[in-house]
Amino acid sequence: MAAAQTKPRFAYFEGQIVPFEKATVSVMTHALNYGTAVFGGLRGYWNSEEEQLYLFRPLDHFERFLQSASLLRMTLPHTPETLTEVLRQLIQAEGYQTNCYVRPLAYKSSEMIGVKLHGVDDEITMFSIPFGSYVDDKEDGMHVGFSAWRRVDDNAIPARGKIAGSYVNSALIKSDALLAGYDEALVLTQDGHLSESSAANLFIVRRGQLITPAVNGDVLEGITRRTVIELAREELGLTVVERAIDRTEVYVADEMFMCGTGVQIAAVTQVEHRNVGTGKMGEVTRALSSVFYDVVTGRNPKYRHFLSPVYDKEPAQS
């Protein structure tokens, strides 16, 4: 893993930007004891030619963040727009001139014992760290296996929300995969269809079509997933199908890749002891990676509406 793990200098905490060391909670905090929190993950991309840091789809990310919060009966005094402005101020304080990762967190903040969601106070915090590639962008791609753990069912814990407690499921999946010698894991739903990796959406290519599990397949409604679907249709002219995927379809797929804020777009080239396609990064994955990178860094003017600049300066004209 190539991601930096540097501590930030600042955090948004209890309504203001404070030194990171002051953003602390009690060991009695409800969220710490019961996992009653939701989080988000978004990226900022540094464009060296324009000397500008661009936040990628912050309004979409914060809209999903607030929807996740509503699933846990949270009442928060924010909109996607106000949270985007908080984030701009936070990164301005950090002064980043490099790619970064942002973690907003909404949590049940009351100091109490008792499992419930109503009648408990809610708070928001946010921080950002410099962040490069989550996985190495290598030609031979990722080697994955099927997890023995199943994805949490939406009728147990809402899959379309980033609920902190449900990521124990992801942690079990990821550790078992790494300790078994894999880079990641593929996870099945309770009915045996492909869902996600430990924390990323999945796509396969078969007979010229790009196929991904539907949003009712116990998957997170990923912002990167949504972007990939749009770019595949609009820029590459591909047919994109959202449907259930059988386990054996993975074995006969021409290509496979993961996508998400952390992983971005990463080729999967081997599943257990079977190659996916040629066993190397495929043409569709490579093309989507190239288009995606141009979009997130502001080098494709058609998709500037996805980006929000951090620093108060006019972007260069394209």
DSSP-derived secondary structure for 173-240: HHHHHHHTT-SEEEEE-TTSBB--SSSSEEEEEETTEEEE--TTTT----HHHHHHHHHHHHTT--EE
Element (H, E) at 87: helix 80-94
Beta pairing class for 100-108 and 42-47: antiparallel
**What does the block give as tokens for 119?**
């009648």
* Residues, the chain: 318
Q: Which residues contact 104 (CB under 8 A, 6 or more apart)?
A: 39, 40, 42, 62, 65, 83, 87, 124, 125, 126
Asked if residues 18 and 25 have their Cβ atoms less than 8 Å apart, the reply is no
In the three-class reduction of DSSP (H, G, I as helix; E, B as strand; rest coil), residue 302 is classed as helix
Beta pairing class for 307-309 and 209-212: unpaired
> Is 302 an annotated catalytic residue?
no
Beta pairing class for 209-212 and 264-271: unpaired
Please, what is the Cα angle at 125 between 122 and 129, to 5 degrees? Answer: 160
Catalytic residue from among 22, 116, 138, 162: 162
**What does the block give as tokens for 35?**
């996992």
- Residues with catalytic function: 162
